[in-house]
Copies of this chain bind each other. A is one copy, B any other.
Amino acid sequence: MVKIEAIIRPQKLEAVQAALEELDFHGMTVTEVRGMGRQRGATYTYRGSQYTLSLGSKLKVEVVVLDGAQEEVIDAIVKSAQTGEVGDGKIFVTQLADVVRIRTGERGEASLS
């Protein structure tokens, strides 16, 4: 099983959710994060001074899937989260050693179905 961890723009969440549901993946975990990369954060004007934040708002979407589904999920996320402009985000893929479903104690692949 792999964990696919995508950093996306906040306004793209619904699109990504929709794309995954279409492929019949319903599980995901979402975290509010702030990110920095080529893109910088927002610029504010307060009482005549300008400030640029180094970090901008992003969401981290984590989806755990069986090894075989990795490519199709990455594809779906890339397509649905893309705007083509700097700051679209990254996807990190990690191999998992195990997965457990707390409700039942099931382990491994069974716990994801």
Query: Which A residues contact B (CB, under 8 angstroms)?
Result: 2-3, 6-8, 17, 26-38, 54-55, 58, 60, 64, 74, 77-78, 81-103, 105, 111
A-B contact pairs, 16 of them (CB 8 A): A3-B94, A7-B29, A26-B38, A28-B36, A29-B33, A30-B33, A31-B31, A31-B32, A31-B33, A78-B102, A90-B100, A90-B102, A92-B98, A92-B99, A93-B96, A94-B94
Q: What residue of chain B has the Cβ atom nearest to residue A3's Cβ?
A: B92
Q: How far is the CA of A91 from the CA of B101 in the complex (A)?
A: 6
Q: How far is the CA of A29 from the CA of B34 in the complex (A)?
A: 6
Given contacts A26-B38, A31-B31, contact A99 B93 (CB under 8 A): yes
